[in-house]
Each structure stands twice: as structure tokens, then as C-alpha cells.
A and B are shown apart, each in its own frame.
Chain A
Amino acid sequence: MLMSKAILIDTTKCIGCRACQVACKSWNDLKGGKATFSETWSNPRFLSSNQYNRIIFREIPRPDGGLEWHFISRRCMHCQDPACASVCPVGALFKTAAGPVVYDDAKCIGCRYCMMACPFQIPKFEWDSAVPLIRKCTFCAERQAQGLAPSCVTTCPTGTLLFGERDELLKEAHRRVGTEPKKYYPQVYGEKIAGGTSKLYLTAVSFEELGLTQKGFRTDLGDIPQGIYGRAWMSKVPFVAVAVGGLAVGLHYLHKRRSSVQGEEQKEDQSHD
């Protein structure tokens, strides 16, 4: 995709201050939730229709025996070829040329297939509302349209979040890995996974080691977008329709013809008697 925006998330620079969470809430006018203690340190514990991004706190043993903190920002990946957009029966979710995967409030019927299909489990539903919609990170599409960076990027004090052209950010990511190979895990998460995403992650260790593969950072998705499976099925539908229809009509007339021929023969037999 030409000139498509992305965010490079260099988690090694993150200090876990959660300013991005606050910025996201205030820009999107989302209500604050009640904070609770939990064994995960992360707060809040889950993304929701009221929480578009959050930082996952991970304390992992180092090879030398000590412990090390990792802070991983979780939000919509804004896939290059998003599964949510592929499955939405009314086309309420779609990928814009500028990069964001956006959502049209007026179209959604609330079937929640996007939530089932998203390999990163991102779309969330307004369960508390009697007129519910899907909510997720918008990549600040409306800010981008005015030439502004997403609010989380603007707020980040450590330069963890870098906003720019996807191609250039990929180059920058590989440059960082190349210059400091000891600091980084040598793969850019989001470069190829699920057909590529607009969020590119640099981590110190693999997501397997971080224990996040079942918590939104799957590494077993392959390099093809999930939507391909549905599209492959849909491409066969017209042929199946024609084949089944044709076969049904053909067999029906075949049987009809056979029984009328049988009837004629019976008549002939009777007349010969």
C-alpha cells in the first residue's frame, strides 16, 4: 500500500507510564474506569469498548538470573488486509488508503462477527448499551485527516511510539535491529504477520517469551491475511450455485423424461396384448 501511515512501537523504550492510555481516553472522550489491583500490574486488565489501548506489564527472568520489565502497548493493529473488514456483512469496517481501519456507526448491525474473526481480538462491543456499537482504536483517523499525529504518539514522553510512513518505519525498525542486535529480538512483529499490519513492534524478546501469544500477539498466524479464507470460499459460491441449480434441473427433467418414456412403453405393451 502506497503512502500508508503506521506506528513503530519500540517497546524497549517504553517505561510503562500509561500516558498513551490517558491521551487516548481524553481524545476519544471515553469514561474513566475504576482502577483495581491485580497480579498483572496492567491496568485496566482488558481492552473494552471504553478502552482502546493499554500497556501490558510483563516481568520476565533474564538469562543472568535477574528479572526484567517489559511494557507492551496493545491496541488495534490496523492490518493491511483486515479480517474484520473482510467479514463484516454490511461493510461497516474498512481499511482506508491512509492506513487506519475505521468503522461506520451508521451501518453496523451488531452481529459481532468482527469480534469472532479478528486474529488479535480487538473489536469490542458496548455491552452496557441498549443501542450498542463496536468500538476499537481508530488510529486517530480524524486527527490524521487534519495532519496531526495520533494522540498516543503525541503524548508518549520516551519516543516509544513513532508515527510515519509504513515503508520508512520498517526501514527504521530494521536499522535499529541491525545496529543493536543484542537489544532487540530480530523480528519486526507486524511486518508480515497476517499479511502485515500498520502497527510495527520491536521487542527485546520474542512474544512467546513474553507469554503474550494467547493474549493478542499470536505468532502462528502466518503471513497471509485471515480474510483470504473467507474470500476463497466466497469465490466458489457462484459456481456451486450454478452447479447445484443445473444439476437439480437436469436430474428433475431426466426423471420426468424417463417416467414418461416408461409410461409410453407400458401403453405400447398393453396395446400389443
Chain B
Amino acid sequence: MTEKIEKWYPGEGKLTPGRAILYVILVLGLVSVAARMFFGLGATTNLNDAYPWGLWISFDVLAGVALAGGGFTMAATIYIFNLKKFEPLLRPAKLSAFMGYLVFVLGLFFDLGQPWRMWHPMVMWNPQSVLFEVSWCVMLYTTVLATDLFIIGLERYGKQSWIKFFRDIYLVLVVAGIMLSTLHQSSLGALFLLMPQKMSDLWATRALGPLFFTTAVIGGMSIITLESLISSRVYKRKPEIGILSSLAKGLAIALLVYFAMKVTDLYARGATVWVWDRVHFWFFVEMFGTVALPAILLSFQEVRNTEKGLLWGAGLAAFGVVLNRFNVSLTSYIGYREFGYFPSAMEIFTTAALVALGILIFDLGMRYLPIYRSELSGEPH
């Protein structure tokens, strides 16, 4: 028997202005996507032979996956590094990770020239290809996240015997999730190892893999913080400032580590840093505005302990991760290509719709799944 879970926040199920806007964006995106499927990529996007990868790869794929790094970051924090106090953040992190990967898979689907062949890497293998590995890891990891959400769903319907089965194999899921994430988060950077001559010196480095991994951890932590703060407002709950403040300390450390890695790398390769042009402008924004600044902000306890401070710190850091992905995959080629690239309206609508869809799915999960009720927790203690 399924019992209707009582409403647990005011306004549940109502069409709020926020949701209405999201639905409008979703419809715009649906139209764009239909046009893209019908008329092809050339007619609907500004992609061309000089820029085969554009907004969808930079944002939906690269940035999306990095920002969805919260799932594996939190799982590792709690189960591997045994920091149990972060447990209340685990389930929202899993939900946002699943949402992130769903959005990313959809985004990739529309970006591929032959989306109906998306399954090809499963049966047509090229173990030399980094992208082959990424596609396998992502397929498996999305399955792990889906299983995880399935367990949370089982709890809602009180299927105890099933839950027990999954509890017994839970460590397998956790370890698989962490392993797969480590691999594909870093490998997404390794995609760009093959083209150092085409890229700006600022980002063309052998260390792209570890750098992508570190920024994925940063992206994951900052999105968990933002998501927790925003959903506490939307769902009228008290923000968990105490836990988030500790998480922000970790975020500040991760940002500092990343800054040090980046400086070491640039210094070791002797890259020309102090020049003023468009490419360097975005580099400076990335390094100082979205890495150093939030690191400094969040290293002050006074900032970490306020909602506003956390919002700014995590917001800047998350924006920095997105900017980094754009820089590696687009800005980096400015000096090399004969043409410019700016996404078409349909590309932008599609990406906006994917983000809207992600938020709506998250909202759905928050409404119908026991995300914040840890007394029902399916994770082993």
C-alpha cells in the first residue's frame, strides 16, 4: 500500500511564478530541439567546421558534468573520509548529480550529429580513445546515480526487503561511483590533450586531467552549497549554515589547491601570463575573480557563517568552473581560428531549457522523494 506522504512545505504543488517561467523556457527549448532534429545542426546552430564544438559541449557537457560532481564528492567525504556530519547534504547532492547527468546526456544527445547512434560506443570499441572511456564511465555512472535514486524511491513506498538488498551492496555503488567519477571527470580534460598546438598556452597543458578533476570537486561542493541555500529559501526551511560553513572551508582549501596547481603548471611550462588581450582577459577573470577571490572570501569565518557570504563564495566558485570549461574549449582557440563563434538563439534556448528541466526534475524529486528526511535513510550507518 502506498500512503500519500503529507505535504511538508507550504505551497507544495502550486504553479508558482518561478515554475511558470521554467515551463516557458522549457517550451522554447522544445521548439529549438525539434527544429534541430528536423533541419540539422547547420541550420539551427552557429557551429561550423572551424568550431565543431560550441555552447552545448562547453556548457551542457563539460560544465554540466563538473557541476554535478557533488554526488561523488559528498559520497567520498562521508563514506571514505568518514566525515559523517555532512550526511544531511548527501541526498540533495545525489539528486542534483542525477539531474546534472540527465541534463548532460540530453544535451549531448542533441549535439551529436547522429543522436540515434548514441549507443554505438557500447558495442563499437576504440580503447585508444579518451572519449570512448568517457562515454563508458558516464553511462555506468548515470546508472549508479539512477540506482541510488531508485533506492530513495523505494523508501518512499516502504519496500523494506528491497531496501535491505541494496543496503547490503551499497558500498559497491559508492566505490563504483567514486571510481567512475574520478576517471571521467579527469578524462574530460584529457580530451584536450591531443590539441596543444591549437590551444592557448594558458590552458594547453599535460596536467589538464588532474586540473579538471580538481575543478569538478570545486564545482560539486559549490553547487551543493548553492542548492542547499536556494532550496531552503524555496521550500521554507532553515538553512544548514553550520554544515555549509564547514563545507565552505573545504571549498576554500580546494580553491587554494587549484590555484597553486595552476600557478605551478604555468610556471613549469614557462607560459606567458602577463599580457593583455582577449584570451588573457578571460584567464585573469577565471584565476583572480573566480578562484582567488572566493578562496579569500571563504577563508574568513565571518563570511562563511553568513548566508550571503556563502552564496557569493560558492556562486563565484561555480561560475569559475563554468568559465574554466568555456576557456579550455572555446577561448583557448581564439588565436587559432579564422572565424569567431557565438551560439545561436536556438543553441541558447536549448541550453536554458536543459537547465530549466534540471531544476524542474530537482523540484519533483524534492517534492516526491524523501530527500531531507534522513530518518528513512537507505544508506548504511
Which residues of A approach B to under 8 Å, CB–CB? Answer: 46-48, 83, 86-92, 107-113, 115-117, 119, 121, 124-133, 214, 218, 220-221, 226-227, 229-231, 233-234, 237, 240-241, 244-245, 247-249, 251-252, 255, 259
Collect the chain A residues with CB atoms within 8 Å of residue B115's CB. Answer: 109-110
20 more A-B contacts (CB under 8 A) besides A86-B194, A125-B52? Answer: A87-B128, A87-B131, A89-B132, A90-B126, A107-B117, A109-B121, A110-B114, A115-B52, A121-B50, A131-B113, A131-B114, A132-B114, A214-B336, A226-B195, A229-B193, A230-B130, A244-B182, A245-B178, A248-B175, A255-B82
A127 near B48: Cβ-Cβ < 8 Å:
yes
A-B contact list, 12 entries, CB within 8 Å: A90-B125, A92-B124, A115-B49, A116-B195, A126-B42, A129-B40, A214-B336, A221-B197, A234-B129, A244-B182, A247-B80, A248-B175
Which residues of B approach A to under 8 Å, CB–CB? Answer: 37-43, 47-50, 52-53, 76, 79-82, 111-115, 117-118, 120-121, 124-135, 171, 174-176, 178-179, 182-183, 186-187, 190-191, 193-198, 206, 209, 336
Collect the chain B residues with CB atoms within 8 Å of residue A248's CB. Answer: 76, 79-80, 174-175, 178-179
B183 near A117: Cβ-Cβ < 8 Å:
no
A87 near B194: Cβ-Cβ < 8 Å:
yes
Q: Closest 7 A-B residue pairs measured CB to CB?
A: A110-B113, A127-B42, A255-B82, A112-B52, A130-B40, A91-B126, A90-B124
Of the candidates A47, A127, A252, the one whose C-beta lies within 8 Å of that of B80 is: A252
- Of A83, A108, A124, chain B has the most CB atoms within 10 Å of the CB of A108
Known: A87-B130, A230-B194. A108 touches B175 (CB 8 A): no
Collect the chain A residues with CB atoms within 8 Å of residue B49's CB. Answer: 46-48, 115, 121, 124-125, 127
CB distance from A220 to the nearest CB of B (A): 6
Known: A230-B194, A252-B79. A108 touches B117 (CB 8 A): yes
B120 near A90: Cβ-Cβ < 8 Å:
yes
B52 near A87: Cβ-Cβ < 8 Å:
no
Bound together, the chains give a CA A57 to CA B171 distance in angstroms of 64
B190 near A230: Cβ-Cβ < 8 Å:
yes
Bound together, the chains give a CA A218 to CA B178 distance in angstroms of 40
Bound together, the chains give a CA A107 to CA B117 distance in angstroms of 8
- Of A46, A89, A129, A220, chain B has the most CB atoms within 10 Å of the CB of A89
Collect the chain B residues with CB atoms within 8 Å of residue A108's CB. Answer: 113-114, 117
Collect the chain A residues with CB atoms within 8 Å of residue B76's CB. Answer: 248
CB distance from A230 to the nearest CB of B (A): 5
Bound together, the chains give a CA A199 to CA B111 distance in angstroms of 33
Of the candidates B112, B117, B124, the one whose C-beta lies within 8 Å of that of A91 is: B124
Of the candidates A48, A112, A233, the one whose C-beta lies within 8 Å of that of B193 is: A233
Known: A111-B112, A252-B79. A89 touches B129 (CB 8 A): yes
A252 near B130: Cβ-Cβ < 8 Å:
no
CB nearest neighbor in B for A107: B124
Bound together, the chains give a CA A86 to CA B194 distance in angstroms of 10
Known: A83-B194, A133-B113. A233 touches B187 (CB 8 A): yes
Bound together, the chains give a CA A112 to CA B114 distance in angstroms of 11
CB distance from B332 to the nearest CB of A (A): 11
CB nearest neighbor in A for B189: A233
A245 near B179: Cβ-Cβ < 8 Å:
yes
Collect the chain A residues with CB atoms within 8 Å of residue B179's CB. Answer: 241, 244-245, 248
Collect the chain A residues with CB atoms within 8 Å of residue B198's CB. Answer: 119
Collect the chain B residues with CB atoms within 8 Å of residue A113's CB. Answer: 129, 131, 191
Known: A132-B113, A245-B179, A249-B175. A86 touches B187 (CB 8 A): no
Collect the chain B residues with CB atoms within 8 Å of residue A87's CB. Answer: 128-131, 194
Collect the chain A residues with CB atoms within 8 Å of residue B134's CB. Answer: 89
